[in-house]
Amino acid sequence: MKAVGSGVPLVIDTSAWMRHRRPGAAAYWDAANERDLLVSCPVAALEIFRTARNEAEFEMLDRHFGALPQAPVTVSVCQAAFGAARALKGSRRLPVPDYLIAAAAAEQGFGVLHDDGHFDLLATVLPFESVRLPE
């Protein structure tokens, strides 16, 4: 079975969700799923819900992401996201959802599973493991 990061739970970023069925990524995703390492964050879930083409798909996504462990967005997560923006100075022009997802993961001691370089940068100022989904 494939190794998955360091073994900490991983918040699913939209970038990972959109690519998780690609040939190089599917085995990694499946290994994380089999080990119960996948976690939802309401910010990423809302982004992913936008991909639903109809009500049945929306309900399936809602059930799937609602059943996963959660990395909630709290006041302290928002404060950490602001702190990350301050710490990044000239590099702070990142998407707001990425700040919140990274800060929510950090608060829970989780990592982030992604295919987005923004999380590598955010991991330099927030204490979470940045795990890039393989190609």
Does any domain span residue 3? no
CATH code of residue 83: 3.40.50.1010
What's the chain's average pLDDT?
94
Q: How many domains in the chain?
A: 1
Mean pLDDT of 10-33: 94
**Boundaries of domain holding 116:** 10-132
The answer to whether 13 and 119 have CB atoms below 8 angstroms apart is: yes
Per-residue DSSP letter, 131: E
Phi, psi of 4 (to 5 degrees): -125, 100
Instruction: List pLDDT tens digits, range 31-50.
Output: 999 999 999 999 999 999 99
Angle in degrees, 0-180, between the axes of helices 42-49 and 96-108, rounded to the nearest 10: 140
The answer to whether 111 and 11 have CB atoms below 8 angstroms apart is: yes
Does any domain span residue 1? no
Instruction: List pLDDT tens digits, range 80-119.
Output: 999 999 999 977 789 999 999 999 999 999 999 999 999 9
Provide the pLDDT for residue 1.
Answer: 47
Q: How many CB atoms lie within 10 A of CB 104?
A: 30
Provide the pLDDT for residue 73.
Answer: 98
User: What is the rounded distance in angstroms from the CA atom of residue 43 to the CA atom of residue 114?
Assistant: 14
Structure-token pair, residue 98: 């990425």
Provide the pLDDT for residue 119.
Answer: 97
pTM for the structure as a whole: 0.94
**Sequential DSSP letters for 77-117:** HHHHHHHHHHHHGGG----HHHHHHHHHHHHHT-EEEES-H
Answer yes or no: is pLDDT of 2 > 90: no
